Structure 1
Amino acid sequence: MPKQKTIPELDTEIAAKEHQLAQLQHKQQQLENRRSYYEKGDRRKRAHRLITRGAAIESVEPLAKVLSETEFYAFAEKAFALPEVKSLLMSAANAHNAAGQKGTG
């Protein structure tokens, strides 16, 4: 039969376990902070990409500035549905992918 622990031994064990719990909670908070940081970074990158591409459209075609958001979306849907535009976009994407494969291969 195991020897019973004394009250001071139990108090010491409790203090050690509480310290260990505090360390684990701190580690969990660090991991949650890291996840939040990376998720925010992804959102910032997306926002930056959307802003720069929107600015590029306006600089290439200034008339796009006068359209409302709804009008612009309708225009974009029609423009990207054109076979010529689809073909140009596909060519650009293929060129991008080919360049990426050359860089990794």
Structure 2
Amino acid sequence: MHEKEMEKLQAEKEKVERQLAQEQHKIQRLESCAAYYEKGDRRKRAHRLITRGAAIESVAPQTKGLSETAFYVFAELVFALPATQRLLMEVTGNHAGGD
């Protein structure tokens, strides 16, 4: 090979290596961004669960003394009641989408 061809190939190699480094950096940024949003979603869910649990204890303080199993049985029974189902459908229909 001629020296000019070697220089040209070397320059092309360096250009491709720079592009590769840029793409790897882009991937790293996107992965960091995805992790940030995922962490935020987990925090929002944890906050919602905590505040709703606190609301239940506030309205029905007797639930504080229940074991976890007893609380779940109680919740299943309450939410299986036809009156509860009707109220839940009414509330979710009137307040669709949220907070």
Partner of 1:8: 7
Shift of 1:8: 1.6
Partner of 1:17: 16
Partner of 1:103: none
Structure 2 gaps, min length 5: none
Structure 1 gaps, min length 5: 101-105
The 1-side partners of 2:38 and 2:74 are apart by 32
1:91 aligned onto 2:79? no
1:61 aligned onto 2:60? yes
Partner of 1:40: 39
The 2-side partners of 1:70 and 1:14 are apart by 64
Identity %: 62
Q: How many residues align?
A: 95
1:82 aligned onto 2:85? no
- TM normalised by structure 2 equals 0.88
Q: Which amino acid aligns with 2:8?
A: E
Shift of 1:85: 1.0
Runs ≥4 in structure 1, deviation > 3 angstroms?
none
Q: Deviations over 1:19-59 (max 9, x none)?
A: 10000000011111111111221111111111100000001
Query: Secondary structure at the residue paired with 2:95?
Result: helix
